Structure 1
Amino acid sequence: VSLCVKRLVYTNDAGEVVKGVCSNFLCDLKPGSDVKLTGPVGKEMLMPKDPNATVIMEFDKMKAKAPENFRVDYAISREETNDKGEKMYIQTRMAQYAPELWELLKKDNTFVYMCGLKGMEKGIDDIMVSLAANDGIDWFDYKKQLKKAEQWNVEVY
């Protein structure tokens, strides 16, 4: 595989130098280095067939076009911190909206799309286990149902 990669390095609002994880990793490799690749992709991140579906995912452009129908919540671990001053992760952001998220997940027309590092799944499951348990539901069984209905779409690498 041959790649052309631009190294991402910038200074954030706090004056800290931020380096792109992927671009810096790739740019620091030596020619001929072994690299694990995944793909092809596209199995998980398919849009629902229902045009009235509630979709939970990152969607900046659609929010700009129809702000009343979209809310974008970020969890940028390299730039944001939580209330304890720790890195912000998706499970931390999900916990902030847990009751609302759980109510949406119980609807047949809600679809969730998330992608990121494989380790994020455990943190998400930890949040969802407690939410589901409040309603007497086993999260892992419910997640299987959501996946089968194409409502829970998580792609990790």
Structure 2
Amino acid sequence: MTDPPCPTGVAIATARLAPAILVLERAPRLEPVLKQALADSRRLIRPCRSPGDLMALADRMPASVCVLDWSGWPTELLGLLDRLQRLRCGARPVVIATEELAPLEWAAREAGAVGFFAAQPSANELIALCGRLLGHLIGPDATQPASPKTKSPPTNNSRW
């Protein structure tokens, strides 16, 4: 994605946006689940229906988590991971694969994937990984400080 030149020939700067969770999938499956699970959070979940959409958003939203449904683009995913690396936007790709594609996990990791699921993960698993990759809590607890849990120390009734 290139910026249109201004009349003087100087490129117009594209506004950078806060990191988000970018979801690349042909049909909305993961995106609605994530949006529902994170409804109380301020975290933005952006759908991408093509690799081009993902690249454009990743460039404008540096350090985003990119959830990639490998079943939608089985032959293109390794190349897409490589292009994300070359974009140098700090994207953190997470691949959702199938059991048949599980043997390609290390190829995906070598191409830049930081997370890999060999089957459809639960919403909680995916949210937990995205939260770790984004560096802080996401979800309903993100807006409230954690309440301290009081726990009494274990007692040792044995005598020496």
Q: TM-score, normalised by structure 2?
A: 0.27
Return the index of the structure with the highest Cα Rg: 2
